[in-house]
Structure 1
């Protein structure tokens, strides 16, 4: 065995290490140093000035925006000009968002999103109700919400859609409303008898439901379930009032007919025909009213069966001779002129026919087997038709 020397091992290790390690590049102390560019610091006063300018600009922008929103909220942006009244319709399909859009379209607010925020914070949906609301440009957000309140209910209340057919009487209309849950028949009847309605054509002194006859306009409505009965009936009357052509009505008033008489004529037309010949029926009625003692010999008697039957509630079957001789205010075989009230609630077509009748010389009509009315100028022509095989529906 060879003799072992520590010096040999140490010598080999050092050499081996030097061979296996890569030759170092420049020592750290001798590496070239990169020169860093010194950043110029902003002068503290200039920085403060710029900061203050930014804060001032931001405050001004926020202040302007805030003032615009505040002005819209308080209606200051509409001050200085005469208030303009607008009518905004709210239906059961509306939400706070759609109401805000309607207010914007009407020129009552400028920023719908801000009104929506206000409405959501104040729970305006619990205050705003369905119907036609008269608002004006002087109203702030709070006043607008209050102006859209309804004593009958609000946007979150349960609603029901009800269609009132043309030609229904007040009693039939009340029955339809009660059946659909608007309120009870008893409560609606009491309101029809005793509630005050702010229209000069309604006799608020009377306590008979016939005082509303003719003025409950047949249409499709959205009602609140358990709505206040007077409010429900008022909705129908208000709709009627909006349908009247004031210009045509004024022309008839010059002839001596008032609104109630025109609607009474319209109700007779409504109940006497299916709607295909309403203007001819109107002409017969007016010819008889305006020509008592005429050559046809009607002497102002309208002789309309529908009116006779209205005065005989609960009547069933064909009209008898006893019916014709029963003296009620609605028996137009006995009493000249119009009945004391309308006999039904006419639709728009019948009202239009009453305001614009056909110009004819007819005094009679009768229903033929062809299910059409046939018209005659004389009693002889009428009698001949009734005795022919063409007569009878």
Structure 2
């Protein structure tokens, strides 16, 4: 009898092991299998939350099939204590394993609300934007200038811990414009004693936190620009008409201010380099304008003939060679165009009416392009 009991107990134990093994195997498959989400969602994890609350929220959103398996997966993967606060994008069909990786990885929130402070050449503005997780497109909910009344939408998101803040610097903004705009940024603190040297700040998008020091932001921009010019200088073409990275930066700033069409930058750079190589004056309006404004704002009108004739260090209609400093902060593409220009014989260019330019090798060809541009200007004036 005892032998039968022992045999039955052993059989039952084996069956239990098989069942437990099957359950564990099923749980592992469920944990790593494609999830039930049919549309991406933005999961907000509050500060001080835990995996129990997160799993309940995910089940309510239809993102997981089993809160218990989700929590056990966090335990067995050693991530149960690594939950991060923030707003996280959970993709369509994300597995429980993938979701746990998203909410424990750290870093900036990947969805939700962001405040973008855009520093432009003509003006600066705040944009409050919310990500639609289904389309992954941002929807602008508020826009306002630094000197305008702060809207309620900004006040609301300003107080939320998971709101992302970015400062986006436009290519071609001057150092004075950038510092002036940062001083007006409500979420930044402190100041800088001196305006950084022209051309030394990298136009880009920078993640911020409310309370960050302006001086720290400037340091990041300077480091990024220094790295860009160093890398481009190492990869430069041969036989360029300048001997130092600083001179290349001056050329890059001129290229930046002369065209907003990305694919034109190497051709524009080739025009000025060809002129330097042939001993011709650069004759570029943006340098003259910089000599008038010193980079402090925009001129807001056309150049006068007296200004084109005036002898200033930045009037390239009068001086030979390049001006003494950059005239703006060029982006990486303009820097690389200045150091790897297109191989052309162009010596002239003028607007072509499409937003780009018509290039020419001879003065005769250039004069025809100028005449065509004057016709376009006249037609537009008549239609206004």
TM-score of the superposed pair, with normalisation by structure 1: 0.50
SS in 2 for 1:221: strand
Q: Does 1:232 align with 2:236?
A: no
1:311 equivalent in structure 2: 291
Native 8 Å contact 1:376 1:382 kept in 2: yes
TM-aligned CA deviation for residue 252 of structure 1: 5.4
Aligned equivalent of 2:170:
165
Residues 92-241 of structure 1 mapped to structure 2, 5 A cutoff: 160-181=165-186, 183=188, 188-190=191-193, 193=194, 209=195, 211=197, 213-241=198-226
1:386 to 367, 370, 383: 370
Q: Secondary structure at the match of 1:166?
A: coil
Change (3 A) 1:214 1:253: farther
More strand by share: 2
Are residues 1:354 and 2:338 paired? yes
Tell me the CA shift for residue 390 of structure 1: 5.9
SS at match of 1:311: helix
In structure 2, what is the Cα distance between the partners aligned to 1:319 and 1:247?
33
- In the alignment, the residues of structure 1 paired with residue 205 and residue 373 of structure 2 have an alpha-carbon distance, to the nearest angstrom, of 42
Task: Pick which of 370-379 and 241-250 moved more.
Answer: 241-250
Question: 2:232·2:339 contact (CA, 8 Å) conserved in 1?
Answer: no
Q: Aligned-pair distance for 1:166?
A: 1.1
8 Å Cα contact 2:347/2:362 also seen in 1:
yes
Which deviations, in whole Å up to 9, do the C-alpha atoms of 1:335-386 show, x marking residues without a partner? 1111111111111111121121110001100112343311111222212332
Cα offsets for 1:95-119 (capped at 9, x unmatched): 9xxxxxxxxxxxxxxxx98x98xxx
Q: Secondary structure at the match of 1:382?
A: helix
2:229·2:249 contact (CA, 8 Å) conserved in 1? Answer: no
> In structure 1, how many angstroms separate the alpha carbons of the residues matched to 2:164 and 2:373?
53
| Residue pair 1:367, 1:391 contacting (<8 A) in 2 also | no
Equivalent pair of 1:166/1:347 in contact (CA under 8 Å): yes
How high is the TM-score relative to the length of structure 2? 0.51
CA distance in 1, matches of 2:213, 2:173: 21
State how far apart, in whole Å, the 1-side matches of 2:277 and 2:206 are.
38
Task: Give the corresponding residue for 1:271.
Answer: 257
Q: 1:87-136, CA deviations, whole angstroms, 9 ceiling, x for partnerless residues?
A: xxxxxx9x9xxxxxxxxxxxxxxxx98x98xxxxxxxxxxxx99xxxxxx
Corresponding residue to 1:336 among 317, 320, 330: 320
Distance 1:311 1:247, change over 3 A: closer
How far the C-alpha of 1:178 sits from its partner, in A, is 2.1
Mark the CA change 1:163 to 1:246 in structure 2 (over 3 Å): closer, same or farther.
closer
Question: 1:389–1:258: structure 2 CA closer, same or farther, 3 Å change rule?
Answer: closer
In structure 1, C-alpha distance between the alignment counterparts of 2:347 and 2:338, rounded to whole Å: 16
Change in Cα spacing, 1:371 to 1:240, as seen in structure 2 (3 Å) is closer
Does the residue aligned with 1:277 lie in a helix, a strand or coil?
helix
Conservation of the 8 A alpha-carbon contact between 1:159 and 1:225: no
For the residues of structure 1 that align with 2:375 and 2:328, how far apart are their CA atoms?
27
In the alignment of these two chains, the number of paired residues is: 224
- Partner secondary structure for residue 181 of structure 2: helix
Going from structure 1 to structure 2, the CA distance change for 1:359 and 1:234 (only over 3 Å counts) comes to same
Q: Is the 8 A contact 2:182 2:214 kept in 1?
A: no
Query: Is the contact made by 1:159 and 1:224 (CA closer than 8 Å) also made in structure 2?
Result: yes
Equivalent pair of 2:203/2:330 in contact (CA under 8 Å): yes
Structure whose alpha-carbon radius of gyration is higher: 1
Alpha-carbon distance in structure 2 between the residues aligned to 1:232 and 1:389: 42
CA contact (8 A) 1:252 1:258 kept: no
C-alpha distance 371-244 of structure 1, shift in aligned 2 (>3 A)? closer
Aligned partners of 1:216 and 1:240 also within 8 Å: yes
What is the CA–CA distance in structure 2 between the aligned matches of 1:227 and 1:389, rounded to whole Å?
Answer: 48
Q: Deviations over 1:310-350 (max 9, x none)?
A: 11115331111011022221111111111111111111111
Deviation at 1:282, TM superposition (A): 0.5
